[in-house]
């Protein structure tokens, strides 16, 4: 087991699936941090039944804030060299973490990004595909990076990137913010094919299309106001 990698899992009302997801992740990785973002269901008690470290936001702040809290906590441990972000709803595949980590190490990258469009997206609803493709186009135009997937929760990055990240977008805008950081900081990055499995559960939890509009506007406003 790699002691020098920490798996960060933001959790918001995932009581139904989180224990299963964690028991899988904990088989391969010992340092797993769950950041409960003010869930109102039984997520917290489910996480406590596992060996994952639990950090609790007293109120719901958004996924970006949860990730940053997890990163801040993990950075306190000097042994942690690599950080992986993983979704709590069970749509990521565990083996993909290793794939990203191996690529990061072999290519000496700062960050490896998962891409479902280079890999596979199983049972992806067409509406989701259309929104995502539009969001990706938008992000590529604004940041100048050429990526195939921008809103993928699966990433692995090194300590240097973690120390400089400091996410300000508290909700889903953090994904665009991370891409922007890569572009502005000239970090070495690569996309790695990953598999995303859409289940009925994850589809019901995913980002609604209307949110994509908010996201686009927010990203645009953030860029203008900088």
* Residue ranges that bind another protein, judged by CB under 8 A: 35, 53-59, 61-62, 65, 68-69, 72-73, 76, 170
Closer residue to another protein, CB minimum distance, 76 or 204: 76
Q: Which helix (H) or strand (E) holds 177?
A: helix 174-185
At its nearest, how many Å lie between another protein and the CB of residue 52?
12
At its nearest, how many Å lie between another protein and the CB of residue 72?
6
At its nearest, how many Å lie between another protein and the CB of residue 74?
11
At its nearest, how many Å lie between another protein and the CB of residue 178?
17
At its nearest, how many Å lie between another protein and the CB of residue 218?
11
169: which residues sit within 8 A by CB, 6+ positions away?
62, 64, 176, 177, 218, 222
Closer residue to another protein, CB minimum distance, 56 or 145: 56
142: which residues sit within 8 A by CB, 6+ positions away?
176, 180, 219, 220, 223
- Could you tell me the two tokens for 38? 């003010």
User: In the chain, helix, strand, coil percent, each to 5?
Assistant: 45, 20, 35
Closer residue to another protein, CB minimum distance, 35 or 111: 35
Q: How many angstroms separate the CA atoms of 127 and 161, rounded?
A: 33
At its nearest, how many Å lie between another protein and the CB of residue 144?
27
State the CB neighbour count (10 A cutoff) for residue 165. Answer: 21
> What is the DSSP-derived secondary structure letter of residue 195?
E
* Cα Rg of the chain (Å, integer): 16
Closer residue to another protein, CB minimum distance, 58 or 126: 58
Q: Which helix (H) or strand (E) holds 191?
A: strand 189-197
Closer residue to another protein, CB minimum distance, 24 or 72: 72
Q: Any idea which residue has 């489910």 for tokens?
A: 46
Closer residue to another protein, CB minimum distance, 44 or 195: 44
């Amino acid at each position: 087991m790699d002691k020098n990698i920490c798996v960060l899992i933001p959790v918001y009302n995932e009581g139904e699936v989180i224990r299963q997801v964690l028991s899988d992740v904990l088989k391969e990785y010992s340092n797993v941090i769950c950041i409960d973002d003010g869930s109102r269901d039984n997520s917290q008690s489910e996480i406590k039944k596992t060996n994952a470290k639990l950090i609790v936001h007293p109120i719901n702040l958004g996924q970006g804030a949860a990730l940053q809290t997890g990163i801040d906590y993990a950075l306190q441990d000097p042994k942690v060299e690599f950080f992986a972000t993983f979704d709590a709803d069970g749509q990521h595949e565990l083996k993909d973490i290793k794939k990203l980590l191996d690529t990061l190490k072999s290519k000496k990258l700062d960050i490896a990004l998962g891409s479902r469009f280079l890999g596979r997206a199983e049972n992806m609803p067409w509406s989701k595909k259309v929104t995502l493709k539009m969001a990706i186009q938008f992000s590529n135009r604004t940041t100048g990076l050429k990526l195939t997937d921008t809103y993928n929760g699966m990433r692995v990055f090194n300590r240097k990137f973690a120390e400089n990240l400091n996410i300000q977008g508290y909700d889903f805008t953090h994904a665009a913010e991370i891409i922007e950081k890569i572009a502005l900081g000239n970090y070495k990055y690569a996309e790695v094919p990953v598999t995303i499995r859409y289940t009925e559960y994850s589809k019901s939890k995913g980002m609604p299309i209307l949110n994509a509009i908010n996201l686009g506007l927010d990203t645009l406003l953030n860029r203008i106001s900088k």
